[in-house]
Every structure is written in C-alpha cells, then in structure tokens.
C-alpha cells in the first residue's frame, strides 16, 4: 500500500482496531506513581519533517516519558563529545533486563548500550559534566523541538523513583568503582530521575524526535548531529531501543524505536516521519502492548519501514 497523503485515516483505523483487541498488559507497578495508570488509555501521533502533526485518541495528553528521554540525552551528548562517547558505553543489545547488573562486572563497568539503565546513567553523567545541569539541558531541548514551552518535570514521579531507586544507585556506584562515572552518585541519580520524570504528550514527542527523521537537523533548521551520527542513533534504537525485546520489535515493526515504562514508544521513519504512541499497559519486557500493536499496524498499513 502506498503512503497516504495524510496519516489521519491510518491513525483512525488503527485506533478502531485496537478498541476490539483484548488484553492491554498492566501499568508499571515498581514505580508507585505510575501504577495507577489505566492500561486502556491510548494516544498516537505522527509528525512529518515540516512539523505537520496528525493524531488520534489522547495524543495531546501528557504522560511520563521515562526511558524515551534516553534518546535525547544520547543525541545531546553525542553532539558534544562525538565518537569518544562510545569508549564509555557500548552499542550492542544486552539480552538482559534493562536494570540488570550482570554484565557490568565481566565487562569492566562499560554498559552494553545507552538505552539500558546503566548506559543511560553514563550518558547522563557525561552530559551533566559538560552542561552542569543534564536534566535542564534535556528539558530545554525538548521544549524547543516540540514547540511546547510548558513541558516540565513531574515531581511526584521523580520522588517516587528516588524512593525506589536502589537498583539504579547500585548500577551507578558499581560503574563509579571502574572509573566510568565522573559526578557524585547522588547528584547523578537526581539528574537521572528528573530526566525520566519529564511529562510530554504523543504530539510533543513525535515533534521532538523529528531531528532523527531529518538526518540530524533540528526544528529551527540548525544541525545538531551529522548525518552519520543520526544514522548511529537510529541504528542503536533499532537494535537496543525496546529492552530485551528489540529483536521482536524489529521483526514486527521494522522501525528504530524507543520505549519507556510510562507506556510511550517513539519511532522513526528516516526522511518521512516520526511517531509516538502511548498506552500504559506493559508486557513482561516493559513495552506498551497496545503501542507495539499500533506501530505494527502502522507499518503494515502504510508500507513505511526501514526494510
């Protein structure tokens, strides 16, 4: 099927089909502030490179971005540091849960990729060293790219993650023992939990991800990343962006994507569009059940894929 001249009919069809699907998973319960979210809520947005946005359902409803923000901190730090960043974090799928400690010891404190928690902590740490305020730099970037100056941190979610953040603290201390963390661990954790607590809507995130569809060009026309760097981020999203379900996601959806336990998933069709879908019900791997299904249907209905 050829791409539609407007994505709106495709989105509406997807929403109608999902209404008939049983089983939506369950909201993330290890972060108490997220546990009460209704797994049947749903929103989806598509943004074209020129900033045109289409949406369906609760596509303008803010939600907790969580690990989706790892894409943007990676972009901001890669733009500053270049290839040296890859000496501190790998680019390989982990095959383990996103908060696993297992690989760090026998790989000398170098996380497998920037999208598991250990890798994201390294990237946030390095961005914090260069900006003095990693979470603030991220928020400024998201506000600029989405065109929404009202984006902000959810203090309740940040506090909830801090109170239940022992595993992330363990990861950070362990990597610090190998010299792969520069800042005091409490400072890093504060930045990281604030980063993950940012609230944004599907429309906001679809727009904010547009620089990856424009091969590194920001919304204002300036270049953030080289074309090669944008390709690198898209590649790591495809292979590592959906935790230890990345292979299945690539098989079903065929797009670079990044999920978060708030129920959101962003995805990129380079040169064509960016997407964000949100539904809080998660599968056992931490990915939105309805979100993956919606993206699967989108690529099937439009024929848009990187393959």
Residues annotated as part of the active site:
67, 70, 192, 243, 261
For residues 214-231, one letter each, b for 16 or more C-beta atoms within 10 angstroms of the residue's C-beta and e for the rest, the string is: bbbbbbeeeebbeeebbb
Can you point out the beta strands (E) in the chain? 43-47, 53-57, 63-64, 152-153, 198-200, 257-259, 264-269, 273-278
Calpha distance 89→116 (Å, rounded):
10
Question: What percent of the residues of the chain are helix, what percent strand, and what percent coil, each to the nearest 5?
Answer: 50, 10, 40
Residue 228: C-alpha distances to residues 12, 127, 217 (Å)? 35, 20, 12
Three-class SS of residue 266? strand
User: What does the block give as tokens for 117?
Assistant: 């928690």
Q: How far apart are CA 154 and CA 195, in angstroms?
A: 10
Q: How far is CA 189 from the centre of its chain?
A: 18
CA distance 90 to 299: 29
Residues in a beta bridge with 223: 217
Distance (Å, whole) CA 255 – CA 234: 9
Contact 277, 288 (CB under 8 A): yes
Question: What is the spatial distance between Cα 251 and Cα 263, in angstroms, rounded to a whole number?
Answer: 20
């Amino acid at each position: 099927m050829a791409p539609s001249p407007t994505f709106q009919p495709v989105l509406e069809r997807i929403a109608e089909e999902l209404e008939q699907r049983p089983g939506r998973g369950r909201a993330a319960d290890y972060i108490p502030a997220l546990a009460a979210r209704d797994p049947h809520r749903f929103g989806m947005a598509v943004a074209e490179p020129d900033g045109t946005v289409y949406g369906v359902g609760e596509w303008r409803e803010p939600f907790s971005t969580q690990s989706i923000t790892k894409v943007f901190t990676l972009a901001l730090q890669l733009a500053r540091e270049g290839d040296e960043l890859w000496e501190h974090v790998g680019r390989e799928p982990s095959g383990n849960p996103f908060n696993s400690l297992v690989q760090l010891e026998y790989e000398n404190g170098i996380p497998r990729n920037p999208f598991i928690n250990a890798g994201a902590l390294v990237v946030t740490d390095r961005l914090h060293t260069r900006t003095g305020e990693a979470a603030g730099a991220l928020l400024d970037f998201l506000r600029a790219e989405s065109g929404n100056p009202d984006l902000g941190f959810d203090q309740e979610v940040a506090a909830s993650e801090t109170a239940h953040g022992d595993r992330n603290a363990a990861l950070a201390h362990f990597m610090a023992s190998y010299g792969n963390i520069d800042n005091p661990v409490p400072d890093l954790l504060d930045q990281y939990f604030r980063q993950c607590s940012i609230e944004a809507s599907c429309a906001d995130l679809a727009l904010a991800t547009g620089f990856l569809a424009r091969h590194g060009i920001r919304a204002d026309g300036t270049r953030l990343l080289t074309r090669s760097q944008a390709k690198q981020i898209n590649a790591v999203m495809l292979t590592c962006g959906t935790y230890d379900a990345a292979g299945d996601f690539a098989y079903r959806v065929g797009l670079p994507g990044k999920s978060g336990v708030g129920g959101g998933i962003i995805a990129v069709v380079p040169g064509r569009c960016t997407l964000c879908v949100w539904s809080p019900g998660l599968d056992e791997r931490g990915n939105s059940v309805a979100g993956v299904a919606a993206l699967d249907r989108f690529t099937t209905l439009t024929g848009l894929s990187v393959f």
